[in-house]
Amino acid sequence: MFQNEDQISSYLEQTCDAENALLRKINRETYLKETMPHMLSGHYQGRVLSMLSKLVSPHQILEIGTFTGYATLCLAEGLKQGGVLHTIDINEEQEERVSSYFRESEYTANIRYHIGDAAAVIPRIEGDFDLVFIDADKKRNLIYFNMLIDRVPSGGVILIDNVLWKGKVFDNKPDVQTQRIIELNSTMAKDIRVEKLILPIRDGLFVLRKK
């Protein structure tokens, strides 16, 4: 039996594909320069996102919550030739550094980096999204889902991060933030428009496939 989460994480990382040099750089610099580096998807979850993206083979991806661009580049690995990934973040202070990572990548021509409030930016982006990754303000997850469900075609996938919320979803007296996540999970479980399951990796990843 595994003794602790660190042992499990180490084993999972040893048995999946390695990070490329740019992803290792982003990982390292995020932990050196950011006050909340744990928000980074990281090696194993990054490989999960890459694998899911490759299985979907999306023409257009939407990511809500860029942070330092690690997950963005993992998702971009699955894009069809000529595909586009739109990523939205509200933190303009990170824009210059994150843009430099995108320019350094092989996907620089495929990524559209938007700075602003996602609820305002989303309506300005044209077309449907074959793959959506929601990893931003947890209080608005359900708002984003409702904005996007009709813009995801049959067979498209919506991913929502942090749905186990460090185990707080099991608290007897959850705080307001946790209550929102519990409400989201309950709503998704009842939504007949999607097939759904939670992958218990990192902080919980909801995988929803449009019927």
Q: Give the sheet arrangement for strand 157-161, strand by strand.
A: 111-115, 84-89, 60-64, 131-134, 157-161, 205-210, 194-199
Residue 48 burial (10 A CB sphere; 0-12, 13-18, 19+):
buried
Q: Which of 60, 132, 70 is nearest to 97 (CA)?
A: 70
Amino acid (one-letter) located at 33: K
Q: What is the pLDDT of residues 98-107, one digit of tens each?
A: 999 999 999 9
Q: What is the pLDDT of residues 154-180, one digit of tens each?
A: 999 999 999 999 888 999 999 989 999
> How confident is residue 94, by pLDDT bands cut at 50, 70 and 90?
very high
- Count Cβ atoms below 10 Å from residue 5 Cβ, excluding itself: 9
Q: What is the pLDDT of residues 59-74, one digit of tens each?
A: 999 999 999 999 999 9
Q: Which of 44, 45, 82, 40 is nearest to 61 (CA)?
A: 82
Q: What pLDDT shows up at residue 1?
A: 47
Contact 50/74 with Cβ under 8 angstroms?
A: yes
Give the range of the structural domain holding residue 195, as residue numbers without chain letter.
5-210
Q: What is the domain-level CATH number for residue 133? A: 3.40.50.150
Please state the domain count of the chain.
Answer: 1
Instruction: Calculate what percentage of the chain has a pLDDT beyond 70.
Output: 99
